[in-house]
Structure 1
Amino acid sequence: MEEKRYRVILVDDEPIILRSLRAAIPWEELSMEVAGEAKNGEAALELVKQLQPHVLISDIRMPGLDGISLMKEVMQEQPKLFFIFISGYGEFEYAREALREGAFDYLLKPIDHEELAASLLRAVAALKKQEENDRMLHSMQTLSLLARERLFTELIEGSRSPLLQLQWLEHNELDQSWYMAVLQLDRFEKLEAAWSRDEKRLWLFAIRNILEEWFENSGGLTVFPFRSGEWLLIFPERMKELQKQLGHELISLIKRHTKLSASVGFSLTASGMQQLGEAYESATRALYQRFYTNGEGVYCAEQNIRISTSAGSSYPKNLEASLLDRVRTLDQEGLRSGLQEVYAYLEAQGCLRPAAEQILVELSVVLYRQFKDMRTGQEWSLEELLQDIHASDSLKDMMSVLQITLARWMKDSAAEPSREDMHTVMEKARSYIQEHYQKDLSIEEVSEYSHLSISHFCTLFKQSSGYTFVEYLTLCRIEKAKHILRNTSVKVYQVAPLVGYQDPRYFTQVFKKVTGHTPTEYRESVSAQ
């Protein structure tokens, strides 16, 4: 990998000094290059704007814009630029002012080229440290964002995670009253079936970028992907009256940039992180209306709409749990028996049609997601099922549509020849990691290869291997590095990219953390045996 070179601009009104600086300093050895020269402050100002240098070496006293005035103007736009000034013996006050204003160093005339080279060497070290700090800050910000999204996801899914102890990452943005928007791509099942894996990743990545760019100026609190083809956006309650406008803006935005159709459901008002799950249910329930209108739209949850009606019916959560267990175990007889219990419950409750239909719609969505999470490779249409339920004239007809459809899905799942037990799937995942460890391998890529959701993959991988994905990938890379160090004469810094690390220093840190030795120490200890 080619070493980075830092750009330098030389500024002096004496041409002989410019030639001397260019010729006498070993720029290449210092990982530097002279990007431009200027004879006065005004010309230097233009060069700085064009070339974006890292270091500027300038005489303090020049006609027109002097060195200190140049630094003050440049630092307003580029505060990280390093200034090294050259001053005469009679200009000590200038030098002191330069250091007070933030100059990196100053040297006296006549110029001692070795002293200047030493100063530049310190500047390079400071630049590298500055870049390392910037990378660390970026990594911490990224980690904070990922942890927040993971925490929100786990709260919505109802799991009690150790991440709950990291609530400081939220900066209390959900302590105020807020509401949630759920954006879903219309007819996503058909889109997903038509896209290749790379196409799907590209489309979803593009939509996330579109939403995040729009969100920056929206006044919202946060935006992140939740399920495939679905994004969650959270807004403060003060924007409640703008729901319809925001929803139509989002739909128009997605259509304009991707030609894809989407719908948006808005939740009831909530407060605090613990209400994320309720808000998500509220927003997705509002989206059920889309299946009746058969088109894109903006749907808002109403305060007075609940699963129950004046007849006193409520959602049968215990029956839902029983049906989910029977789907997971592909118990066809149990599924039939469970649906009969649902029918008996609705009949006993004396449900009016809207309440009965809404309960069956919610059951259908939950069971459909369970079938999809099992990743059997089959393709079914949830929209078609919901439309058939809506078109039914009686409770008996609704139940018949649901029973026939679910029985077919279960039969398809049970007959799927490529269906494998989770042990085999995890073995394949570990093999995939071992074959691709040298790449920039992500958990998204491996979970997608395994045909599992990220959260499901994380759980199964830890159960089967005893390690998290990152721990396993790290151990795999370090084992490969040890093999290379034991059996070849490849230089240590060249080993890093061979095992998936682009930064040799970071590779050394990880290697020592895992083995207790640096790569060099490890090689020497093996050679001594």
Structure 2
Amino acid sequence: MYKVLIIDDEEPLREAISILGDWEGLQVDEVLEATDGVSGLEMLKAHKPDLVIVDMKMPEMNGVEFLRIVESEYPELLTIVISGYNDFEFTRQAIHSKVVDYLLKPINRQDLNQALRKAIGLLEAKRQVRSESITRNIAYNMSLPKLKEKIYLSIIERSLKKQSNKAFLALIGAEDENLRYGAFVLRILNMESIRDSRFNSDTELLYFAVANVINEMSDDRLQCFSFANPKQEREVIAVYTSRGGYPQELLFQSEQLLKKWCRP
């Protein structure tokens, strides 16, 4: 559903637009009104409408001034302008502000609803694009750990083809020459008893909990990414990264981190 704001100092015109608009058919559930550009801007801030219908000739702040502010502060807002004057300045500003449509008084039902349908069509398209973008981002974020897991496994197994997987290497920061990598393999000796007593016999949940604990114990010096070894039961692989430093220093830090992980 959508929200529309009508800005016009003439009450009869606001009332005519309210009556003539096919609001239900256009999925508009709220039609707001303002008497001038100043109060219109206040309504914009308070109610965040999806579409504004604004008269170009008003006291306090005319449509030209209003559109200039909207263009600067609300660049995504859709607008339909109305004018009873064949004024070049009004037309020029309307074109510059990329308004959806420009209607001349007196307003008739057909022209108004045609302009409204055009605006609502644009809003629907924007929502569709935004929804698809959100879906893609969710899918990407959900699959990112699995992608990183596959990359690390292929490196450990020496099966990585650098050229064909070059784009994926950026996911683990491999393009950063200052990063240093290392890996631990942890074996859960009492897996069955821990799984049954604490994780309701759910092996996958146990692996997730162990990997989560390992990742949370990392600090600013060593960042960890861990996952269950898909080829060896009981094992969790922990890959750690550090920025710069000497090999001996990195080895010492990793040993301290390993002791922290294995502490009862």
Q: TM-score, normalised by structure 1?
A: 0.37
The Cα shift of 1:152 comes to: 1.8
Q: Per the alignment, in what secondary structure is the counterpart of residue 33 of structure 1?
A: strand
Of residues 37, 44, 63, the one that matches 1:41 is: 37
Of residues 129, 135, 141, the one that matches 1:139 is: 135
Residue 114 of structure 1 pairs with residue 113 of structure 2: no
Map 1:347-358 to 2 at 5 A: none
Q: Is the 8 A contact 1:59 1:86 kept in 2?
A: yes
Following the alignment from structure 2 to structure 1, what is the Cα–Cα distance between the partners of residues 141 and 12? 53
Identity of aligned residues (%): 20
Give the direction of change, closer, same or farther, for the CA distance of 1:226–1:133 in structure 2 (3 Å limit): farther
Q: Is the 8 A contact 1:268 1:283 kept in 2?
A: no
Following the alignment from structure 1 to structure 2, what is the Cα–Cα distance between the partners of residues 29 and 287? 63
Tell me what 1:290 maps to: 260
The Cα shift of 1:56 comes to: 0.3
Tell me what 2:221 maps to: 243
Q: Deviations over 1:212-248 (max 9, x none)?
A: xxxxxxxxxxxxx99344438999xxxxxx639x99x
Q: Deviations over 1:195-226 (max 9, x none)?
A: 679xx99xx8xxxxxxxxxxxxxxxxxxxx99
Residue 178 of structure 1 pairs with residue 162 of structure 2: no
Tell me what 1:152 maps to: 148
The Cα shift of 1:48 comes to: 0.9
Tell me what 1:94 maps to: 90
Residue 58 of structure 1 pairs with residue 76 of structure 2: no
The Cα shift of 1:49 comes to: 1.1
Q: Deviations over 1:133-183 (max 9, x none)?
A: 22233334444445543332112233657998454353795311225799x
Following the alignment from structure 2 to structure 1, what is the Cα–Cα distance between the partners of residues 71 and 88? 22
Q: Is the 8 A contact 2:148 2:171 kept in 1?
A: no
Following the alignment from structure 1 to structure 2, what is the Cα–Cα distance between the partners of residues 163 and 142? 27
Of residues 9, 12, 19, the one that matches 2:8 is: 12
Residue 168 of structure 1 pairs with residue 152 of structure 2: no
Q: Is the 8 A contact 2:180 2:241 kept in 1?
A: yes
Following the alignment from structure 1 to structure 2, what is the Cα–Cα distance between the partners of residues 33 and 233? 51
The Cα shift of 1:81 comes to: 1.3
Q: Which has the higher contact order (CA 8 A, sep 6+)?
A: 2
The Cα shift of 1:62 comes to: 1.2
Q: What amino acid is aligned across from residue 7 of structure 1 in structure 2?
A: K
Following the alignment from structure 1 to structure 2, what is the Cα–Cα distance between the partners of residues 146 and 287? 27
The Cα shift of 1:283 comes to: 7.3
Deviates more, 1:143-152 or 1:46-55: 143-152
Q: Is the 8 A contact 1:243 1:266 kept in 2?
A: no
Following the alignment from structure 2 to structure 1, what is the Cα–Cα distance between the partners of residues 110 and 171? 50
The Cα shift of 1:27 comes to: 0.6
Tell me what 2:188 maps to: none
Q: Per the alignment, in what secondary structure is the counterpart of residue 93 of structure 2?
A: helix
Q: Deviations over 1:490-528 (max 9, x none)?
A: xxxxxxxxxxxxxxxxxxxxxxxxxxxxxxxxxxxxxxx
Following the alignment from structure 2 to structure 1, what is the Cα–Cα distance between the partners of residues 36 and 118? 26
Of residues 211, 219, 227, the one that matches 2:211 is: 227
Q: Is the 8 A contact 1:40 1:65 kept in 2?
A: yes
Q: Per the alignment, in what secondary structure is the counterpart of residue 44 of structure 1?
A: helix
The Cα shift of 1:191 comes to: 10
Q: Deviations over 1:93-116 (max 9, x none)?
A: 312221212211110111122111
Q: Per the alignment, in what secondary structure is the counterpart of residue 43 of structure 2?
A: helix
The Cα shift of 1:54 comes to: 0.8
Map 1:182-221 to 2 at 5 A: 194=198
Q: Which runs of 5+ in 1 are unaligned?
A: 183-188, 205-224, 236-241, 248-264, 271-280, 295-382, 384-529
Following the alignment from structure 1 to structure 2, what is the Cα–Cα distance between the partners of residues 148 and 191? 26
Q: Deviations over 1:57-94 (max 9, x none)?
A: 01012112222322332343432211000012322331
Following the alignment from structure 1 to structure 2, what is the Cα–Cα distance between the partners of residues 51 and 193? 53
Q: Per the alignment, in what secondary structure is the counterpart of residue 227 of structure 1?
A: helix
Q: Per the alignment, in what secondary structure is the counterpart of residue 37 of structure 1?
A: strand
Computed over aligned residues only, the root mean square deviation of the Cα atoms, in angstroms, reads 4.2
Following the alignment from structure 2 to structure 1, what is the Cα–Cα distance between the partners of residues 150 and 217? 16
Of residues 64, 70, 74, the one that matches 2:70 is: 74
Following the alignment from structure 1 to structure 2, what is the Cα–Cα distance between the partners of residues 74 and 193? 61
Give the direction of change, closer, same or farther, for the CA distance of 1:57–1:39 in structure 2 (3 Å limit): same
Give the direction of change, closer, same or farther, for the CA distance of 1:283–1:66 in structure 2 (3 Å limit): farther
Q: What amino acid is aligned across from residue 123 of structure 2 in structure 1?
A: L
**As a proportion of its length, which structure holds more helix?**
1
Q: Per the alignment, in what secondary structure is the counterpart of residue 151 of structure 1?
A: helix
Following the alignment from structure 2 to structure 1, what is the Cα–Cα distance between the partners of residues 153 and 121? 48
Following the alignment from structure 1 to structure 2, what is the Cα–Cα distance between the partners of residues 233 and 132? 41
Q: Is the 8 A contact 1:8 1:35 kept in 2?
A: yes
Q: Which runs of 5+ in 2 are unaligned?
A: 184-190, 225-238, 245-250
Give the direction of change, closer, same or farther, for the CA distance of 1:243–1:112 in structure 2 (3 Å limit): same
Following the alignment from structure 1 to structure 2, what is the Cα–Cα distance between the partners of residues 89 and 70? 17
Q: Per the alignment, in what secondary structure is the counterpart of residue 85 of structure 1?
A: strand
Following the alignment from structure 1 to structure 2, what is the Cα–Cα distance between the partners of residues 166 and 233? 30
The Cα shift of 1:46 comes to: 1.1
Q: Is the 8 A contact 1:180 1:232 kept in 2?
A: no
